Chain A
Amino acid sequence: MIEIKNIQKKFGDRQVLAGIDGCFQPGETSLIIGGSGTGKSVLLKCMIGLVQPDLGEVLYDGRNFLTADDDTRKAIRREMGVLFQGSALFDSKSVFDNVRFPLDMLTTMTEEEKVERAHASLQRVGLENAEQRMPSEISGGMKKRVGIARAIVMNPKYLFCDEPNSGLDPLTSIKIDQLIKEITDEYKITTVVITHDMNSMMEIGEKIMFLYEGNKLWEGNSDTLAHSDVDRLNEFIYANKLLREMEGK
């Protein structure tokens, strides 16, 4: 379980996060949604330690990540997998080497164990045939899948995905969502996903948190999403014309 308490962050005079609380459960895919520039990525970066919040706590199963000593921080980092918005594959390494990289750097596994684990991970995302290709030679959707394979190769307890389906066609996008959800169920991972995508919200939103200008305005799930009385949230989800028509609003 991940708990965040009163996360605040300012860049200069701009209050990007104004005190966010939340709780993310294992085996559950939690979504963070909200318009562009509302601080979703900054919140995620605060949680994974790439940005230092001005105030607040991030607890990984009770361990305070921000104040922990170096060893504890390292231990927690080894338990998390991150899929970045642009996949962030190492472009000098092949698909296979990207996936086995964390094993090389962070474990003392034997060569066979590493190869087997990396294979299994790539198989899980359906890329066993692209192992020797370079990141520059594969499509955006494949990159995301390699990113997921790399994020799960260490068997993480916590998985973070920043817009896993931005820039993908609807079909690929649904496949990626399903994959994330399945992995989360299968390994009982605590998963946090940032998304703009209405489909994802309806399909995999077991828990949804809506951010607006650095505040959490609403929390619920895919069933209650469309029936909230939060104006900002309704504006956000009914920006989509088709949905508006379908719901008769």
Chain B
Amino acid sequence: MVTLGRYFIFLGTLFRDRERTSVYLRLILDECVSIGVNSVFIVAIVSSFIGAVTCVQTAYNLDNPFVPRNIIAFIVRDSTILEFAPTISSIVLAGKVGSSIAGQLGTMRVTEQIDALEVMGINSSSYLVLPKVLGAMLMFPLLTMMAAFLGILGGYLAGVLVGVISHEDFISGLRFDYNPFGIKFALIKTEVFAFLIATISAYQGFNVSGGALEVGNASTNAVTASCISIIVADFVLTQLLLA
């Protein structure tokens, strides 16, 4: 409870007393590169394989002549867009981006780099954390869209190659009962997850005291706390937006 309160106070400091906008633009760009570009590979691998597995798995479970085959593609599409692309990618990113944010800020804390910023009269939390939050919120949706695309592609390739579904069935399943709100829903979720991962990890890193050991612990805690918050937020958002 106390931690939660401190976390909200920390969020408040992000937006107080900022530096010039031009300063932020460069920093945000740097963060976009380090968050976005460096995560493309892992997100691509994970999402295409999950798409593939979902397709094959669903096909085996629906091994009933009365169920039309194109339902498989329909299920792959919806589960990928609604759940796997935003949530699984975010969990993967919590591991990659969250731990790096916490590690970086934690190191800056224990080596007094954050103190050095403070004595110059710079609001260290907004200078260091805000660009990361914005960078994550800019890049995560792109990564999610890529994950959705690759997930469905992975499902298609696996389905057709293994022979559980034909090309025509897959395409017709993809088109079946399509609701564009699904994409919007995925992007809203992703933005929330991006914000949670970046701020929770930054909070963990910022509040390290001690040395290298504590920085390591902060990284681990950042990933754990981010993952839990993603799952809770996923449940809440699904209730709010889809129910």
Contacts and interface: CB of A to CB of B under 8 A. Distances in A.
Contacts of B183: none
B57 interface: no
Nearest to B120: A102
B132 to A, nearest CB: 13
Given A90-B113, A91-B113, A82 B121 contact: no
Contacts of B112: 84-86, 88
Nearest to B114: A88
Interface string B115-129: 110111110000000
A88 B121 contact: no
B172 interface: no
Contact of B122 (A73, A80, A105): A105
Interface string A7-49: 0000000000000000000000000000000000000000011
A85 B111 CA distance: 9
Contact of B116 (A73, A74, A88, A104): A88
A102 B121 CA distance: 10
B113 A80 contact: no
Nearest to B23: A105
A106 B115 contact: no
A85 B122 CA distance: 20
A102 B107 CA distance: 21
A86 B120 contact: no
B121 A73 contact: yes
Contacts of B107: 91
A77 B113 contact: no
A89 B122 CA distance: 15
A50 interface: yes
Contacts of B113: 88-91
Interface string A69-93: 0100110011010101110111100
B168 interface: no
Contacts of A50: 115, 118-119
Nearest to B20: A105
Contact of A105 (B115, B118, B119, B120): B120
B19 interface: yes
A105 B119 CA distance: 13
A88 B111 contact: yes
Given A73-B121, A105-B23, A105-B122, A82 B111 contact: no
Contacts of A84: 112, 115-116
A88 B23 CA distance: 21
Contacts of A70: 17
B110 to A, nearest CB: 9
B119 A80 contact: yes
B25 to A, nearest CB: 13
Contacts of B115: 50, 84, 88
A50 B121 CA distance: 11
B58 to A, nearest CB: 46
Interface string A99-133: 00010111000000000000000000000000000
A106 B119 CA distance: 12
Contacts of A88: 111-113, 115-116
A77 B121 contact: yes
A78 B121 CA distance: 7
Contacts of B118: 49-50
Given A70-B17, A77-B121, A88-B112, 12 more contacts: A50-B119, A80-B119, A84-B112, A86-B111, A90-B108, A91-B107, A91-B111, A102-B120, A105-B19, A105-B23, A105-B120, A106-B121
24 contacts: A48-B119, A49-B119, A50-B118, A73-B121, A74-B121, A77-B119, A77-B120, A78-B120, A80-B119, A82-B116, A84-B112, A84-B115, A85-B112, A88-B113, A88-B116, A90-B108, A90-B113, A91-B107, A102-B120, A104-B23, A105-B19, A105-B23, A105-B122, A106-B120
Interface of A: 48-50, 70, 73-74, 77-78, 80, 82, 84-86, 88-91, 102, 104-106
